[in-house]
Structure 1
Amino acid sequence: MFKNLVKIAFKNLLKNRGVTLINIFGLALGLASCLLIVFYVVDELSFDKFNTNANRIYRVNTDISYGGNASSYAIGPPPLAAEAVNKLPQVEKAVRITTATEVRFKKGVENISEPKVANVDSTFFDVFTFPILHGDPHKALAEPHSIVLTERAAVKYFNTTDAVGRVLTMANNNENFKVTGVIANMPEQSHFNYDFLISMSTNEGSKANVWNSFIYSTYLLARPGTDATILNKNLDALFQSHFEKQPGFNKQAFAKNGNYVRVNLTPLTDIHLRSNRQYELGTNSDVTYVYIFSSIALFILLLACINFMNISTARSANRAREVGVRKVLGSPRKMLIFQFLTESTLITLAAATIAVLAAWALLPAFNNIAGKALSINTQTIKWLLPALFIIVLTVGVLAGAYPAFYLSAFQPIAVLKGKLSNGFKGSLLRNSLVVLQFSVSIFLIIGTIVIYNQLNYIQQKDLGYDRSHVLVIKNTLGVENARALKNELKQIAGVNNASLSGFLPTGTLRQPNSVFKSRTPVPKNAVFTEIWPVDEDYLPTMSMKLSQGRNFEEGNISDSSKVIINETAARALGYAANPIGKSLYYEPERGERDTAVRELKVIGVIKDFNFKSLRDNITPVVMMLQSNNNALSVKLQGADVKHFLPLIEAKWNKASPNQQFEYSFMGEDFNAAYRTEQRTGQLFLVFATLAIVIAGLGLFSLAAYAAEQRNKEIGIRKVLGASVSSIVSMLSKDFIKLVMLSFLIAAPLAWLVMHKWLDGFAYRQSIQWWVVAVAGAGSLVIAFATISTQSFKAAVANPAESLKSE
């Protein structure tokens, strides 16, 4: 019986090739889109789950409110890891990680800068699961000056993966490191990714036992069965017991002013999607986007199924007589249902096959837009094939159920007399499907426009500095005389200025600290700020504007005890009215040469500038005149700045012949901070377009159905003198009403969702009225263009054809 059903189904599908192709194309489009989104979502949800004990690993966070400023960090104090293992029975192991910046290793005579270097505790491999290819994971990081490499790094420096026992020299200080292990390259689905792991005991520094310094990313491996809530509470209590014992700390005075320092935990598997703190070890995503794209995938698949139903019912008249004859000849209704379900399943199977091939072909382009490295491999196929089998059956049944029950319900007498069921107006279900389709499409159109408007606003906003034509030269810590290099670069024709500094507005390196309004460093006088070491050329190189006072002066020794603050810092210090000449006090951290409280005079106030993401408000900044070679910024003149690169590289090679010339442009660094939003906008545009195409197919099929149901009416109207335009208007107005209803449903919902998304930005545009208007007008134009093709075809048809049987 099944063989016969398949055979008949094939004949019917081939007989109606046009309808079959439209069905297959619509479903394939929906399934391919759904598959690509599923690949994306599965990848996002898989971060850090490769770790054997992923569900028992937690990261320590620190929340600080100090001097009226609240901040959240993904780091903790140095002693907390060991103390947690010793004092908390719930903690089995702990490991600390800190990213090493500006590290250079020697390869022959060349010094190579490596950005993926970390200092880690010897327990690193006890907590995390990174397969070690060579060496003993339990001993690899136990000794000072030991280092573990990834396969990639081992091949790069030693041309072999078995590099255990070899020596790698750090060019920064000529220290030698013994390679004690080689691990497989860290997975892309890890929230941190390093190529070099240096034993923490090599250079832990003077802060190993300091509880008020927050510099290490700390991870705890909890024992099986541990209640995370209790562990969180116990960990904070342990921290407070040590933090409150600091010399001179007054708990009551500290808390009286609303200040607090707390530690808490984030599960490892939540970090990538649910953590956006300062000092994250990598660039995290947002679980909101997973929800959004999952919803889009379901909606697009739903739209494709709706199209199948609409197209099948639109061609019902062509098969009505077939159903009537079969029923007269004794075919039971269930056999007719099985017949139609078999046809829908075969269409779905063909569409699924095409969808898989299309998704595989489009995967590189999708990766480029989404910033992923997705691939279809053995692991993917293991879940893809069963999923496809379920999808084919589910979609085949869902998409074919309505046509099957609808067509099989035709009464033989009514069908054979040429009387079909009520036309378009009589179907609440079909009307609802059109409303649903266009509601989704309008929602996506509004979302896409809002995202692009916000990204354009970010690009155009005056940030308080000029990022254009600023070349940032890296690896300058290794230059023997960086100041001489800076001065040489300033002599190049077309170079406006150059500056050596510790911090950049687009940089990720930050130094949170506190300054005080009085010489006594007590919490009530504290202002939580960032302290930036800069030189006298920093402000002109960045095109920053002073609202009061002056800049640092070259050669003015007394300026070493002067500072320039931003307007936010002036307000926080209470100096907004007249800050010039006022004093603030700075307590250097332990380990610095001068540990006495320093008095610093304000000589200038700089206009506020955005140095964090536009999601965050501007916070206080204090600039000090200090020698710091962390970054060399060069302000170039003219639109075409590429021709400066050979000239600058020649100066670089002369000053530092053994180091690679590495650079970036500040504008590109700024854009990178909003890469997630840019990719989201592009994906929204792609899937909004697909949703519109699929909705258009559905509307096309319903317009064909309406015209087919009313062809005799149209013939009579034409015989009685109705014009083509009046008939087109008659057939179109019902659909236009449904699209307008879709707009009334989708517009408020889209406004609410996108308004909530915009709330994530401290600096943002409001949703303009024209955004909603454009989405509504666009959907109406698309709908009318789709409908009018079928309506016009019906209106110009010869009425004799539809009335010849009357």
Structure 2
Amino acid sequence: MLKNYLTIALRNLRKHKGFTFINVFGLAVGLACCLLITLYIVDELSFDRYNTKADRIYRINTDIVFGGNDMRFAVSPDPLGPTLKKDYPQVENYVRFHDRGTWLVKRSGQPHNLREDKIVFADSTLFDVFTLPFIAGDPKRALAEPNTVVISESAARRHFANRNPIGQTLVFNDTQVYKVTGVMQDMPENSHFRTDFFVTMLNDNYQWGQWLSNNHHTYILLKPGIDPNAFEKNFTDVVENYIGPQALAIMGVNMKQFRESGNKYRMWMVPLTDIHLKSRQTIELAPNGDIQYIYIFGAVAIFILLIACINFMNLATARSANRAKEVGVRKVLGSERQQLISQFMVESILMAVFAMGLALGLVTLALPLFNTIAAKNLSVQRLLAPNYLAVILLLPVVVGMLAGSYPAFFLSSFRPLLVLKGGAFKLINRRSAQVSLRSGLVVFQFAMSVILIIGTMVVYRQINYIQTTKLGFNRDQVLTIHEVYSLGNQAEAFKNEILRLPGIVGGTLSGYLPVPSDRNDSPMFPEGEFDQKKAVSMQQWTVDHDYVQTLGMQVVQGRDFSRDFGYDSSGIILNETAVKIFGFKDPIGKRVMQMFDATGKNFKTYTIIGVVKNFHFESLRRNIGALGLFLNKNTSAASFRLSTQNMSALIPQIETKWKQMAPGQPFNYSFLEDKFDAIYRAEQRIGTIALTFAIIAILVACLGLFGLAAFMAEQRTKEIGVRKVLGASVPSLVTMLSWDFLKLVFIAIVIATPIAWWAMNQWLQDFAYRIDVPWWVYIMAGVVAIFIAFVTISFQSIRAALMNPVKSLRTE
């Protein structure tokens, strides 16, 4: 019986090639989009799950409200890990990370350094908490002694080629020598942080025991069976017993008084597997994803697949009258309804199987481009994994049954006597429920399409706003050269050499640039008022005399740092936010104190010499915080403003100067504008992906509309013939036929607009600086949907209107 069903199904599919192609192609596109998005979602959800103890690992976050600043840190005080292990038996182990950023690294005896992007200091307990398999060395002892480092397999190839790294030494920043005691496998890409170098925490040059400083990423491993929610309540005692005494010793207030002043100090745990998608703390080890986009893309995948299934229903129903006599003949010859349903379901599943094969081909072709857009490294081979393979085998059956169920039950219900007398169209016309369902499905298709169009337009307008808004400084044509400290005492001379080159109009030495980075806030107080209520938590940057001018910032009160004033080393320039929080009406000449260490006894006093206009140095998701600029030597980076457009000629000249003054040191540079754009690269990727799937959804929806237009035109063939005989013009007929479809699109727009308005306003809440979505965005999205629908409909409408009325009147 199954063989008979397949033979008849293949025969029918070959007979109606155009219908088969449209149906298979529509389903294939829907399935391909679903597979691509599923690959993306599964990869995002897999982060950190490679750790065998992932379900028991938690990171300690710290939320602080103090000095006019709301700080949400992914870091915590350095004594926290050891203290939790000592005081609470529920903690099996802990590990701390201290991210020290980019260093220059070379093998001992080699003249040339390599730039390594992330050097992380870690406790020797690292490999007991995290699953990082070793290729060589003993993970239990690898970081237990001073001057030791564990490197990745990739780092071993870079620095040691075919040599055995164990026991060899590496030189960091030309000064610090570390022995390689372990080589681990490269950290998986689906990790919330990645590094090639773990240096023993015993060599971290840090003032230990500071409960009021937050600089370490602390992870704890709970013992099996421990309730994390119950354990988290212990942090209240930790704050009272350890944070409180230091706060009392330094500021003279206990934690109760601290909170009564409107301040807050809270520690809490985030599961390791939630960090990548659900953590929005600052000072993360690496940029995170966003769970909202998982929900959005998951919904898009389902919608596109449903739209493709709806197309199948509409197209199959549109062809129903052509197969009515076949149903009648089969029933007269003794076929039962169940057999007819099975026949049509086999045809549907067979087309879904063909569609899945085509979808896999489309995924293979599209995956490289998708990886580029999404910044992923997904592979088609992952689809061959047992769990994916099961989905690939079952999905065509499920989709075929879902898409073919309605046409199968609809076609098999025809009465043989009526259809054999040519009454199929009358039967169809009487079934208003089916007509309403098909219309509702088209409304659903275009409502989803309009939501995607509006969403895409809003995302791109927000990104454009971010890229074009005035930031308070000039980020254009600012070239930054990194690791200038490798020049030693020649850093200032290098800066002066570059300033002599044609096309260079300004330069500054500073490690602080107005782009988000892992910088902590520290409190400052008005002179003589060491009171927590008067504290201002602020960024504190060390810069040189040329910093403000080079970056195009605006001094609105007082003056900039000047070489004509020898006492500027004790001066400070505040931004407008800091002045506002301090409450200074006339800030110039006022003096503020900086706490010099954690004892609460050593202070340094600065005189306010100027106020700089607020500029954005964090993401536009956050309001501008308080900032102070200090005059001091900092040779982390050199930034130069360029006036020339001929970058290709100027950069080699700068590199030549570098190599002359820093032989053996890598020349690394970036543009400030690129760093700024990188902050919002995730949104740019999301916008591009959303635009791509919006276009696909609209195209797939148009196939469904095309099917419904064919169905309606086929139903009204005789009516069209009569109207033409009575003198109706082609434009009037096209208008008549088109209106039935366009009113469905209008209904879809009415439904979709408030949903899109709510969804995009929710998304924009993440930005402190955001656009107001203008009314014309919704109008334009509607116009685009109507235009696309009309173009799709007009093909069938014009074709039906141009039909010879003699042939039309012979159809029934």
Structure 1 residue 805: Cα displacement: 5.7
- Equivalent residue number for residue 779 of structure 2: 773
Task: Identify which range, 680-689 or 197-206, moves more after superposition.
Answer: 197-206
Preserved CA contact (<8 Å) 2:717 2:811 = no
Structure 1 residue 147: Cα displacement: 0.7
Task: Identify which range, 722-731 or 466-475, moves more after superposition.
Answer: 722-731
Taking the aligned partners of 1:185 and 1:712, their CA distance within structure 2 comes to 71
- Equivalent residue number for residue 197 of structure 1: 198
Which whole-Å deviations, capped at 9, do the CAs of 1:342-361 have from their partners, x for residues lacking one?
00000000100111121122
Taking the aligned partners of 1:589 and 1:672, their CA distance within structure 2 comes to 35
Pairing 1:790–2:793 present: no
Taking the aligned partners of 1:341 and 1:220, their CA distance within structure 2 comes to 55
- Equivalent residue number for residue 75 of structure 1: 75
Q: Which amino acid aligns with 2:377?
A: A
Structure 1 residue 425: Cα displacement: 6.3
Structural mapping, 1:286-685, within 5 Å: 286-377=290-381, 381-420=385-424, 421-423=427-429, 427-480=435-488, 481-554=490-563, 556-575=565-584, 577-590=585-598, 596-685=602-691
In the superposition, the TM-score normalised over structure 2's length comes to: 0.97
Structure 1 residue 379: Cα displacement: 7.5
Q: Which amino acid aligns with 1:633?
A: S
Which whole-Å deviations, capped at 9, do the CAs of 1:50-74 have from their partners, x for residues lacking one?
0001111000111111122211000
- Equivalent residue number for residue 148 of structure 1: 150
Taking the aligned partners of 1:384 and 1:805, their CA distance within structure 2 comes to 49
Taking the aligned partners of 2:768 and 2:141, their CA distance within structure 1 comes to 48
Distance 1:771 1:161, change over 3 A: farther
- Equivalent residue number for residue 88 of structure 1: 88
- Equivalent residue number for residue 6 of structure 2: 6
Q: Which amino acid aligns with 1:492?
A: L
Structure 1 residue 225: Cα displacement: 1.1
Structure 1 residue 205: Cα displacement: 2.4
Pairing 1:44–2:44 present: yes
Alignment equivalent of 2:258, drawn from 248, 251, 254: 254
Structural mapping, 1:203-282, within 5 Å: 203-206=204-207, 208-246=208-246, 247-248=249-250, 249-251=252-254, 252-282=256-286
Distance 1:388 1:51, change over 3 A: same
Taking the aligned partners of 1:725 and 1:340, their CA distance within structure 2 comes to 38
Q: Which amino acid aligns with 1:321?
A: K
Task: Identify which range, 74-83 or 371-380, moves more after superposition.
Answer: 371-380
| Aligned-partner SS, 2:233 | helix
Which whole-Å deviations, capped at 9, do the CAs of 1:280-325 have from their partners, x for residues lacking one?
0010011000000000000000000000011001111111110111
Alignment equivalent of 2:765, drawn from 759, 770, 782: 759
Preserved CA contact (<8 Å) 1:503 1:510 = no
Which whole-Å deviations, capped at 9, do the CAs of 1:633-683 have from their partners, x for residues lacking one?
111003333321011111111221110100000000000000110000000
Which whole-Å deviations, capped at 9, do the CAs of 1:481-507 have from their partners, x for residues lacking one?
211111111111110110011310025
Q: Which amino acid aligns with 1:615?
A: R
Which whole-Å deviations, capped at 9, do the CAs of 1:407-465 have from their partners, x for residues lacking one?
01111111111112234966110011010000000000000000000011111100000
Alignment equivalent of 2:120, drawn from 118, 131, 136: 118
Taking the aligned partners of 1:59 and 1:160, their CA distance within structure 2 comes to 37
Taking the aligned partners of 1:317 and 1:201, their CA distance within structure 2 comes to 81
Preserved CA contact (<8 Å) 2:102 2:119 = no
Q: Which amino acid aligns with 1:177?
A: Y
Taking the aligned partners of 1:285 and 1:380, their CA distance within structure 2 comes to 26
Preserved CA contact (<8 Å) 2:457 2:777 = yes
Structure 2 runs not aligned, ≥5 long = none
Taking the aligned partners of 1:568 and 1:63, their CA distance within structure 2 comes to 21
Taking the aligned partners of 1:18 and 1:339, their CA distance within structure 2 comes to 20
Q: Which amino acid aligns with 2:17?
A: R
Taking the aligned partners of 1:631 and 1:230, their CA distance within structure 2 comes to 46
Taking the aligned partners of 1:521 and 1:226, their CA distance within structure 2 comes to 43
Which whole-Å deviations, capped at 9, do the CAs of 1:341-393 have from their partners, x for residues lacking one?
00000000010011112112211100111111111335752222101122111
Q: What's the % identity of the aligned pairs?
A: 46
Taking the aligned partners of 2:557 and 2:387, their CA distance within structure 1 comes to 64
Taking the aligned partners of 1:789 and 1:351, their CA distance within structure 2 comes to 25
Distance 1:805 1:147, change over 3 A: closer
Structure 1 residue 257: Cα displacement: 1.2
Q: Which amino acid aligns with 2:33?
A: S
Task: Identify which range, 259-268 or 305-314, moves more after superposition.
Answer: 259-268
Distance 1:379 1:479, change over 3 A: farther
Structural mapping, 1:30-69, within 5 Å: 30-69=30-69
Q: Which amino acid aligns with 2:379?
A: S
Q: Which amino acid aligns with 2:360?
A: V
| Aligned-partner SS, 1:639 | coil
Taking the aligned partners of 2:491 and 2:628, their CA distance within structure 1 comes to 23
Taking the aligned partners of 1:572 and 1:372, their CA distance within structure 2 comes to 43
Taking the aligned partners of 2:390 and 2:383, their CA distance within structure 1 comes to 12
Q: Which amino acid aligns with 2:439?
A: N
Structure 1 residue 804: Cα displacement: 2.5
Taking the aligned partners of 1:540 and 1:425, their CA distance within structure 2 comes to 74
Q: Which amino acid aligns with 2:437?
A: L
